[in-house]
Structure 1
Amino acid sequence: SRNQEAEKAFSAAHEIHSRIGNNLGAANALDGLGNTYRAQSRNQEAEKAFSAAHEIHSRIGNDLGAANAVLGLGKTYHAQSRNQEAEKAFGTAHEIHSRIGNDLGAANALLSLGDAYSAQSRHQEAEKAFNDARTVHSSIDHFLGAGNAFRSLGNLYTTQSKYNKAELSYRQSLAAYDRANDGDSIARALLDLGKLYHTQQRYAEAEEAATEALAIWTSIDDEEGQAGASILLSTIFRSQSQHNQEMDALIQAEAALARTGHHTTRAATLGRMGDIQLAQGNYPEAEECYHLAQAIFLSMNDPRGEATGLRGLGKLYVRQGRHAQAEECYAHARLIYAGIIDEEGEADTLDALMGVYVMQRKFGDAKVACMEACEIYTRMGRPMSDMCANTWEMLQLVEEHPILPLLAGLFES
């Protein structure tokens, strides 16, 4: 991949520069390595590379290099939610850039600082940092930076449910990106705007924004962007119960996700496709989707995803009257949830399992499942589910009147 090639090149450059005693070259190669590792979420290696680069830049008195290395270090901390360390690093980068009169560097450090504040719900400080960054970017006619600042403000206002201010900020970011002639950034802002409209149930506007973003990403052949826009479109259609359009959008998203290797999102998308096929009575297609999702989650060692897939298959088998297979799926899913200590998942699965036991007249098993579910609901401090309560009531009736199941069997036959 491109990252592997870059890693190879930067490693070779670092080795050569170190051997000939070129400190600046070695530090720059370490910066490149840090960015390459960060792009692959190899955060420990990125941290090591940026720290080493920062040490060299500081030692040889290269302020610009030191500021950029500490900014990279801050972004690596931020990616790991180490927000206080990130804040400190971004503050240092801003201080150095300001001291050496590098306005663009100072403004970019402010944007990152705003992100660190935002992650800690320090909204006023984040808003000030984003506004300060916007002012600097605008003063030097750096439209891409100004657009990023407006978009960050839009995201901040959205998290605070200040929707009018968020919409205005996104519109301002679009105007700035338009002046920068940056298609990818325009599409990102449109996607944010689409999400905002969806939150407000302004579905026609949400669909228009997401469709426009999709068209841009398609024109520049950005598969990741296409997947994101298609997923948003599917959500917009789902909210309006337009399941055929939702399915079309999911098919488009799944194809893009398969090509980009975003396995977790792809598996979740296949699961949703299975749900739609199941609701429409397309059982073979639903089963295929669930099995595909299941295989992906298994290959990724994602137990929660695997359990979700098993529950989807369980629902399908119940609908088809394949009760023994449904029981197998739910029992397996229940064990997975217990293993990862997901009590909510385990209780929900026990609810489904007791239903399958009742359908097979395995009343003893149903009673055990019901009691185990009740224990979990009590531990979680939640009232028992309707399924649990109804099953318990029915089981008591069966115990009081053992002839009831026999009569039910007679009527069925």
Structure 2
Amino acid sequence: MYGKAFAPEYQGSLDGLSVNASLDAVLATALERQREAERAGCPRESAHARLAVAEACRRLGRVTEADRAWKGSYRAARSTGDPAAMAWALWSGGTLARQRGALPLARRLLALAAGLADGSGDFLARGYALAGLAETGRIQGDYEAVHALHERLLAEARERGEARHMVWALSGIAQMRRNTGDHEAALAMFEEAAGIAGAAEDARGLAWSLRGVADVRSLRGETEAALELLSRAEGTCRRMRLLSALGYNLKMRGNVLFRAGRYPEARECYREALAEFEAMQEPRGAALARLGLVKTRARLGREASRTAADLDELHRTLGGFGLRHARAMVDRARTELGLTPAPAAP
């Protein structure tokens, strides 16, 4: 069993905010609470408000403001000796670092957050920090190292009835299953995640889960069904201003169209996704959208030498982020397009 989804990152006087609240509304409310807390000389409430500011700005792609806000939240929490609030601030900073492609920094901040949360007894902060570490390893392609952690966090979320965390863990495990070729298991887990998110009224989790369902159904040749699911998720992303989720939704739409041989449409989706990622300074998403563009342009007749040069550049870029699975995608693209493999890196 599980309850309705809630947002534990909205704390103090902000704990009544819905998980589905518009990010623009969250930001406006949190900024007002921050000003009130500073006028009243209340650092604990300032830490809570700055955390909400940081998370709203991060999800809106306003990375400079997000960076300033999580650091301000940490300083305010430290001034009151509140390790749980310090842990939440570090979790926000680690999540931002991962979004910006700084994976070693993300791991460092998230590990510090987990340690502080564990000492404070805040099991939610601990769970979110460990989930952040697991997700960082997953996007790097280090599945063997993080699969057990995903499974453990899913079991803990089921035991406590935390719908939002169940959706995250199911989607993460499903993504690893999908990437290792177990499409049936992946589809079942993505669909379970979508069902839980819908019942728990977690619109953000539902949008991400539907993207996963669409991906696997597209791999099975169900193009129109996949596009319909992505359109449904896109509406949520635009309504709530979930810009990162929107970028990945558009990239997935490009993938679905590419698999169906609809290359001009795919090219436009990849272009739109790239613009979204560049606007929010999300380098991993931008690199993956560029990969889709390179493959699509090749199918539309671009000369092989330019395609090969672009793939070589992407291989270096993704390798620099430590994204092994994504770099393997570049290698597969070379094979699909009949190009000579790049020289091995020293």
TM-score, with length taken from structure 2: 0.61
Q: In the aligned structure 1, how far is the partner of 2:79 from the partner of 2:182?
A: 46
Q: In the aligned structure 1, how far is the partner of 2:51 from the partner of 2:254?
A: 39
Which residue among 88, 105, 110 is the counterpart of 1:68? 88
Say if 1:63 and 1:96, in contact at 8 Å, map to a contact too: yes
Aligned to 1:59: 79
Say if 2:211 and 2:233, in contact at 8 Å, map to a contact too: no
The answer to whether structure 1 residue 96 and structure 2 residue 116 are counterparts is yes
1:109 to partner: Cα distance: 2.1
Moved more, 10-19 or 91-100: 10-19
The answer to whether structure 1 residue 108 and structure 2 residue 73 are counterparts is no
Change (3 A) 1:5 1:241: closer
Aligned to 2:52: 32
Aligned to 2:333: none
Q: In the aligned structure 2, how far is the partner of 1:100 from the partner of 1:214?
A: 42
Which residue among 150, 162, 173 is the counterpart of 2:193? 173
The answer to whether structure 1 residue 211 and structure 2 residue 231 are counterparts is no
Aligned to 1:154: 174
1:50 to partner: Cα distance: 1.4
| Aligned-residue RMSD, C-alpha | 4.7
Moved more, 157-166 or 22-31: 157-166
TM-score, with length taken from structure 1: 0.53
Q: In the aligned structure 2, how far is the partner of 1:218 from the partner of 1:135?
A: 31
Q: In the aligned structure 2, how far is the partner of 1:241 from the partner of 1:103?
A: 47
Q: In the aligned structure 1, how far is the partner of 2:107 from the partner of 2:230?
A: 32
Change (3 A) 1:183 1:235: same
Aligned to 1:140: 160
Aligned to 2:148: 128
Say if 2:88 and 2:113, in contact at 8 Å, map to a contact too: yes
Consecutive unaligned residues of structure 2, counting only runs of 5 or more, are: 1-21, 280-289, 311-338
The structure with the largest alpha-carbon Rg is 1
Change (3 A) 1:19 1:220: closer
* Aligned amino acid, residue 163 of structure 1: H
Matches for 1:10-409 after TM superposition, within 5 Å: 10-11=30-31, 13-198=33-218, 201-204=219-222, 206-215=223-232, 218=235, 222=239, 232=252, 235-236=255-256, 239-241=259-261, 262=276, 344=309
Deviations, residues 30-73 of structure 1 (Å, cap 9, x unaligned): 22332233223333432232122212212312232112111111
Q: Secondary structure at the match of 1:41?
A: coil
Q: In the aligned structure 2, how far is the partner of 1:192 from the partner of 1:64?
A: 33
1:11 to partner: Cα distance: 4.7
Consecutive unaligned residues of structure 1, counting only runs of 5 or more, are: 266-303, 316-329, 331-336, 346-376, 382-413
Q: In the aligned structure 1, how far is the partner of 2:235 from the partner of 2:100?
A: 31
1:78 to partner: Cα distance: 0.9
Q: Secondary structure at the match of 2:175?
A: helix
What count of residue pairs does the alignment treat as equivalent? 278
Kindly indicate whether structure 1 or structure 2 has the higher relative contact order, using CA contacts under 8 Å at least 6 residues apart: 2
Q: In the aligned structure 2, how far is the partner of 1:81 from the partner of 1:227?
A: 15
Q: In the aligned structure 1, how far is the partner of 2:246 from the partner of 2:69?
A: 33
Q: In the aligned structure 1, how far is the partner of 2:43 from the partner of 2:128?
A: 26
- Tell me the percent identity: 13
